[in-house]
Structure 1
């Protein structure tokens, strides 16, 4: 029988395993809800959908502004400008008060969420300069050359070591051009982003008017690149009727604002502008790796490639494949049903007519299309990898604990 200390070691090891397996993410909205002095800051994180994006990152430092500072800054500025400023206050690294005062060589640059949400941001526009000044002060400023260090650390708010740190600064970080409202000429933006074919379809079909009509309440666009229309396997779109072209273009947009962070955390089917009572025309999403979002139509998948514009309440992405709804292309991509063979009819004793042949089985409907050869298994694979990442967030710790358990078992056998 194994000695008691062996069982104690095993119990301790498996307790640690259980704890390590439950280590999860955080919810920035809930964290800040405990601090009423930052209720305005918290509200703007939710309104701009930045909270959803923040919650998807394993490590974040949030430079929070109190209610007075937010009132002074936000004022009458559009939500799109507020979002850019708050993105610049979200550092993709961990800095608690102690590490802020121990910066190597006194200064460092930290990448921010603005770098991910602003598309092709100019050099260093998405970075923040952190400098440990003499006298114990820590200053922050834009990393763009010539920018001032005019925001200062005031106090610590909340830390979950190495996951999230929330500290207060006294003023927003203003990078060059960040206060300017972003242009929202959709067709021009699409053409400049290499989506001229889609922009032309949008204008010619008249769907651009529908896009513009929903902007006030929110618009998300998934624009295929020009190369996507030339890809092998794309159906001949010239054979579509005018109404079908309209549905196809509408299928590439949502009537609400859904930035990348919202898509990454999405678990449900998403209705598109083409969704009606007669047709679902919906999408599903999955994630791949740390930051990739994949859209699934039921026929094939398409990956978000680039953020052309993220200016609340409008976000425009480029995607690497044309989105093909099953309502338009499902039947042509599904294999034809095999005929049902009935046995040779036997003659009746009275010499009557043979029984009627069995009718062929009905073809699959658009409600449940068959997987075609163009379907990508990416969604399933990505789902598994995402689950694996959530289940074990510290693989080295897990390995070490399993090793301890193995040693304990070995000791028990030798005793």
Structure 2
């Protein structure tokens, strides 16, 4: 019984780890109606997916009244920046807030990981103030501590902490900078700047660029191979593909809907693409290892290298390989070879057996062509035996030999018994 203890302990710890690391910020906040507006925007901007993909996180939430400073007054791309600045990449519960070394610290936020935060605008200043208060503000020089800790909402030690603060933390220029609409984004210019000139040229010359542009307003995600990817061994010769195949290949590198990196990390089901239609699935599957996200086609796979643009509702990523769909480049099983039709001059598939005289074992014929017709007792010619009839003949012959041997044994035994009786 004692031998089971380590196993039970391992299973218990494994289950506990799985329970602790699995969290869903949307589900957590759904039990608090006072954060319904904040919760809704976390989902709309996909910030919730990024929160759920991380193991250690602190989420600073705003109640519905405080969210009025953002909700409905700015485009989603701006609200996403503001909410990303409220996600701290470390665990802070109320006791830790009051135990900050030297009373103040700068902590990294989700906004910093996007690559869109210039300087130190992706950091937040946390300061333990006198009287038990804790202030929050942008880490930009000269910024004020415009927000303060209000109360604890939820803690799952030491993975997720949800704390309420009094107001948004606004980095300089975050709300005042003009935000271009999605339709104003120049896709080819962004791709060329990111080192994807070949892909940019292909989507332009094959008319796919217009398809991308018409899909942006409802959400679009692009996985663009860099220029080196088209020079790699194994990449098909595009000049040998039909125009329809090239278009399908290019559409396979994009999907409808805004799918940022955090959403990809939490994706379990296959992703449809713009190439998906009734004739083929054209899907991608996703695997994650830490912060590394890899796309799989069934033929090859590619790691997402960089984020070119992440601005709701458009996301553009670079990938290291050309994504090859199985519908175009998958190897189908080779069909079984069909037998050649029999002709008068073709050899017989198996050696024919000569007619077996009564009482003798059959001997294989040395002639490979089919045996000529033989006369039947009725005088009419009959066809040479087929392959099946040959097998039947062989089996009958073998049975005849076995039968003869058995008779010989019985005769010998009988003679021995008779001799013994006579002698006695």
TM-score range, shorter chain: 0.7 to 0.9
345, 351, 358: which is aligned to 2:349?
Answer: 345
User: Which residue is 1:162 aligned to?
Assistant: 158
- Quick one: structure 1 residues 192 and 145, their matched pair in 2 at CA, closer, same or farther if it must change by over 3 Å? farther
Aligned to 1:177, the other structure's residue is in SS state: coil
User: Which residue is 2:274 aligned to?
Assistant: 273
Work out the CA distance in 2 between the residues paired with 1:253 and 1:126.
29
For each residue in 1:163-199, what CA deviation from the matched residue of structure 2 results, as whole angstroms up to 9, or x when unmatched? 1111111111111332342562212211121111111
Work out the CA distance in 2 between the residues paired with 1:353 and 1:195.
71
User: Which residue is 2:204 aligned to?
Assistant: 203
Please tell me whether residue 64 in structure 1 is matched to residue 97 in structure 2: no
- Once structures 1 and 2 are overlaid, which stretch shifts more, 54-63 or 189-198? 189-198
Please tell me whether residue 79 in structure 1 is matched to residue 72 in structure 2: no
Gaps of 5+ in 1: 1-5, 357-415
Work out the CA distance in 2 between the residues paired with 1:261 and 1:321.
21
Answer yes or no: is the 8 Å Cα contact 1:345–1:355 preserved in 2: no
Aligned to 1:189, the other structure's residue is in SS state: helix
Answer yes or no: is the 8 Å Cα contact 1:60–1:94 preserved in 2: yes
User: Which residue is 2:294 aligned to?
Assistant: 294
Please tell me whether residue 172 in structure 1 is matched to residue 168 in structure 2: yes
Work out the CA distance in 1 between the residues paired with 2:285 and 2:302.
11
Work out the CA distance in 1 between the residues paired with 2:283 and 2:204.
23
- Once structures 1 and 2 are overlaid, which stretch shifts more, 107-116 or 154-163? 107-116
TM-score by length of 1: 0.77
126, 130, 138: which is aligned to 1:142?
Answer: 138
Answer yes or no: is the 8 Å Cα contact 1:119–1:308 preserved in 2: no
- Quick one: structure 1 residues 68 and 344, their matched pair in 2 at CA, closer, same or farther if it must change by over 3 Å? farther
Deviation of residue 228 (structure 1)?
Answer: 1.4
Answer yes or no: is the 8 Å Cα contact 2:259–2:315 preserved in 1: yes
Work out the CA distance in 2 between the residues paired with 1:318 and 1:228.
10
TM-score by length of 2: 0.75
- Once structures 1 and 2 are overlaid, which stretch shifts more, 79-88 or 144-153? 144-153
Answer yes or no: is the 8 Å Cα contact 1:308–1:315 preserved in 2: yes
89, 92, 101: which is aligned to 1:92?
Answer: 89
- Equivalent pairs counted in the alignment come to 345
123, 127, 146: which is aligned to 2:123?
Answer: 127
Aligned to 2:218, the other structure's residue is in SS state: coil
Deviation of residue 348 (structure 1)?
Answer: 3.8
Aligned to 1:149, the other structure's residue is in SS state: coil
Work out the CA distance in 1 between the residues paired with 2:305 and 2:121.
20
CA RMSD of aligned residues (A): 2.7
Deviation of residue 338 (structure 1)?
Answer: 8.3
Work out the CA distance in 2 between the residues paired with 1:124 and 1:252.
34
Deviation of residue 72 (structure 1)?
Answer: 2.3
- Quick one: structure 1 residues 50 and 354, their matched pair in 2 at CA, closer, same or farther if it must change by over 3 Å? farther
Correspondences of 1:29-68 after superposition (within 5 Å): 29-68=26-65
User: Which residue is 1:18 aligned to?
Assistant: 11
Deviation of residue 341 (structure 1)?
Answer: 9.0
Correspondences of 1:103-114 after superposition (within 5 Å): 103-114=100-111
Work out the CA distance in 2 between the residues paired with 1:344 and 1:129.
90
Work out the CA distance in 2 between the residues paired with 1:279 and 1:170.
51
Aligned to 1:93, the other structure's residue is in SS state: coil
User: Which residue is 2:191 aligned to?
Assistant: 190
Work out the CA distance in 2 between the residues paired with 1:297 and 1:189.
25
Answer yes or no: is the 8 Å Cα contact 1:215–1:313 preserved in 2: yes
Work out the CA distance in 1 between the residues paired with 2:10 and 2:275.
48
Larger radius of gyration: 2
Gaps of 5+ in 2: 341-346, 351-368, 374-382, 388-424
Deviation of residue 92 (structure 1)?
Answer: 0.9
Deviation of residue 292 (structure 1)?
Answer: 0.9
Please tell me whether residue 326 in structure 1 is matched to residue 323 in structure 2: no
Aligned to 2:146, the other structure's residue is in SS state: strand
Work out the CA distance in 1 between the residues paired with 2:117 and 2:207.
31
Aligned to 2:119, the other structure's residue is in SS state: coil
Work out the CA distance in 2 between the residues paired with 1:280 and 1:198.
22
- Once structures 1 and 2 are overlaid, which stretch shifts more, 167-176 or 345-354? 345-354
User: Which residue is 1:401 aligned to?
Assistant: none
